[in-house]
């Protein structure tokens, strides 16, 4: 049994702030103030893995 995060090991990762989760879930665009941390290289339009701090 592997943790779900294992599936996303090759994707760039974004950790978003808890305060941004609801807005993004309802279709808002993610902007820099909503990002807590990131790893990997990516550009606009790339597929990334989103995680929360929790």
Q: Where are the domains of the chain?
A: 4-52
pLDDT at 53 over 90: no
Whether 13 contacts 39, CB under 8 Å: yes
Q: Report yes or no on whether pTM surpasses 0.75.
A: yes
How confident is the model over 29-42, as a mean pLDDT? 94
Average pLDDT of the chain, as a whole number: 93
Question: What is the predicted pLDDT for the residue at 35?
Answer: 96
6 in helix, strand or coil? helix
Contact 48, 21 (CB under 8 A): no
Query: Which of 45, 42, 44, 34 minimizes the C-alpha distance to 13?
Result: 42
Distance CA(1)–CA(15), nearest Å, equals: 24
DSSP code, position 26 = T
């Amino acid at each position: 049994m592997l943790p779900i995060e294992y599936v996303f090991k090759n994707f760039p990762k974004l950790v978003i702030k808890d305060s941004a989760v609801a807005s993004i879930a309802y279709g808002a665009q993610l902007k820099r103030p909503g990002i807590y941390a990131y790893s990997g290289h990516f550009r606009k339009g790339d597929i990334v893995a989103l995680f929360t701090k929790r």
